[in-house]
Amino acid sequence: MDLDALDGGGGPVEERPGGGELPGRFQGPAASRSVGAARPPRGERTWPTRQEREDRQRERDQARAQDIAADPVGVARQICLDQLGFAPRTGHELAKVLAARGIPADAATEVLERFAEVGMIDDALFASMWVSSRHRSKGLAGRALSQELRRKGVDDAMVRAAVDELDPEQEAETARALVRRRLATTRGLPTEARIRRLAGMLARKGYGAGTAFRVVKDELAREGADPPDVPFDVLASLED
């Protein structure tokens, strides 16, 4: 690696006021600016007009269209690399990006198939990692996770396999932790209202009715709350 390049290209070296040299990365226009130099007043700054912005965008679009016409596979490959460098993507997500950028379908298919062959696109691995991460960080249950993965275009069989990796006991423990964190915000409400609010929160995260009410029952009982008018046994018997 060229360390000089990292330090600013080996340009002229300035000295600190107290002696010694300033590293090259601090050289340049900013370093040579006088200490008391002021920026132009805000009102005097010029900003591109709407027409100028549109013209620049049109120029970029035209340049991209020319690049695609000259080498559609190469452009598609670079787009996919950029996307994957930012975050993991499913094949479906990358296909949507390529289509939106004007990549011809045959070039997109060629690149996506090649990326899948070398393991750069792996929907099964993506699904497994997604389930683990979203359950841990957001407390989502299998139902909500399945919906998210399907929206990302993951195959149903891969979705089921990934969600099946969730430990039912861990899922229930996560539900309990979610309820415990919200209990304090419901104190002072009638018990029935607390049940609706807490069970509704779990439902939005993908937990089934039976699991939600059983967990809420246990946590309210731990707190010593009065039982609701509707028997908990009836609520807990609901199918997930």
* pLDDT tens digits, 133-150: 999 999 999 999 999 999
**Domain region containing 140:** 123-163
pTM assigned to the model: 0.70
Residue 26 belongs to some domain of the structure:
no
91 and 146 together in one domain:
no
33 domain residue, yes or no: no
> And the tokens for 124?
């099964």
Q: Is residue 172 part of a domain?
A: yes
Query: Are 193 and 230 found together in one domain?
Result: yes
Q: 179 with 206, same domain?
A: yes
Domain presence at residue 20? no
Q: Is the pLDDT of residue 17 over 90?
A: no
**73-123 tens-digit pLDDT:** 999 999 999 999 999 999 999 999 999 999 999 999 999 999 999 999 999
Is there a single domain that holds both residue 177 and residue 228? yes
Same domain, 217 and 182: yes
pLDDT in tens, 55-84: 999 999 899 889 899 999 999 999 999 999
Find the largest Cα–Cα distance for the chain: 82
Share of the chain above pLDDT 90, in %: 64
The answer on 194 and 220 residing in a single domain is yes
Domains of the chain: total: 3
> For residue 31, is pLDDT > 70?
no
pLDDT band at 125 (very low <50, low <70, confident <90, very high): very high
**pLDDT given for residue 107 in this prediction:** 97
Exposure class string for 144-182: b at 16+ Cβ within 10 A, else e? bbbebbeebebbeebbeebbeebeeeebbebbbebbeeb
- Rg of the chain over Cα atoms, rounded to whole angstroms, equals 29
Q: What is the pLDDT of residues 181-229, one digit of tens each?
A: 999 999 999 988 999 999 999 999 999 999 999 999 999 999 887 655 5
- Whether 105 is covered by a domain: the verdict is yes
Give the total residue count for the chain. Answer: 240
Do 228 and 176 share a structural domain? yes
145 and 93 share a domain? Answer: no
Same domain, 208 and 152: no
